[in-house]
Structure 1
Amino acid sequence: MGNTTSSNKISAQDKAILDMKVQRDKLHQYQKRITVITNRETEIARECLRQGNKSKALLALRRKKYQESLLAKTDQQLAQLEALTSDVEFALVQKDVVFGLQQGTSVLKEIHKEMGGLEKVELILGESQEARAYQEEINEMLGGKMSNHDEDEVEDELDALEREVNGPAVLPNAPDGVLRSEVLPDAPTETLAQKAKRRQQERAAKERPSDPIAA
């Protein structure tokens, strides 16, 4: 009887570890495939900034960040569960492992559904009714799903891309080749705390419902 019980425990443990490895392999496959999409999303953000459309650039970068964070968080969770299953008495963590596998499967389905392929990414650039509907759908889907930390990282990436696209400004009436930064002192910059507070206020303003009595 003892051997049978032990054999069943080992069998369940081995199966759980195998299932987690299979999920992680699928995640790594998604990571390779999604690189093509996220690279295009970054280029779309650049194109939008060149056109002066900062809101579309932000949407492309938020979509990219969400996909990357989903993959990274799920991979980390599965790695922790795999280590836990190997190091701790399996009977003590079996429920956590089963729940973790269910979560991993759910995230894989969400990634597969949301990823959409390059043809979906291109809709961010579009102005058609279909494109605008997709852009609104992505905005609504991302609402509340990204942490403030993720949103801040997206804003930082947008700022960096904006500087890259716009380049250093040339001072009007200055000799050829003289840049604004070579003539004028640097303007005061926001502290990290000030930047975080400003972004928090901007997000709150976007989420606040408009006044139906206005105008």
Structure 2
Amino acid sequence: MGVWVLVGVAGAVGLAAGAQQLVGFGFALMAMPLLSVLVGPQDAVALAAIASLAGGTSMAWRLRHLAARPVLRRLVAGAALGLPLGVLALGHVPDAPLRIAVALAVLAMVAILAVGWRMREERPRTELAAGFVSGVMGTAIGISGPPVVLVLQAARMEQHRFRATTVTFFVVCDLATLPLLLGTGVVGLERWPAAVVAVPAALVGNRACEGLAHRVRTEQFRPLVLALLVLAAGVALASAV
């Protein structure tokens, strides 16, 4: 693995970790398009899970008292059913379609957030369904956030409670994703030296934006994050076609 690939991995992960601190989501949305170009979609899912776990665990622990636990339990229950199905898709779909799927998922989420669309209601069964879809997407294309974000927005969840609930959900899913990827043989160890770079990059990006996240409102950074997501999706689409 070349030096510039490692530099790219570190940059993508650090940027994604900072975005997650500032707006409460966006790590996979930002990291996956870029990582899929650098190391391929299959390895990108594993790297994103490792980096997200490294950057998110401490954040989830610090915010644990704010997490909406009943909602979190329903999301996790749904994800437990969806994660294995996503692994099957990841192991059987070629690289180019996966990159396109990653880019389209990111662009769809950007469009939803940009127009301010919200679901009309929030129910326990909706949370279960969102967790299931999130689990499938998380292991298939490395992006598990959109269904969860939409459901929590429907609940009009307060900003910091939202951040605590989403990051805790992602950490739990990452802990389940890595054994599934390794146990099924979908991902090998060839490119995992990049994890040595990804982990500290996630920690640095997380730490660098932590204080800022408490001093400003999410809305101040959302336009910048959305613009960066569009750019990342464009890079993934260009590499696929």
TM-score normalised to structure 1 length? 0.29
Q: Larger RCO: Structure 1 or Structure 2 (Cα < 8 Å, ≥ 6 residues apart)?
A: 2
Q: Which has the higher helix share?
A: 2
Give the number of the structure whose alpha-carbon radius of gyration is greater: 1
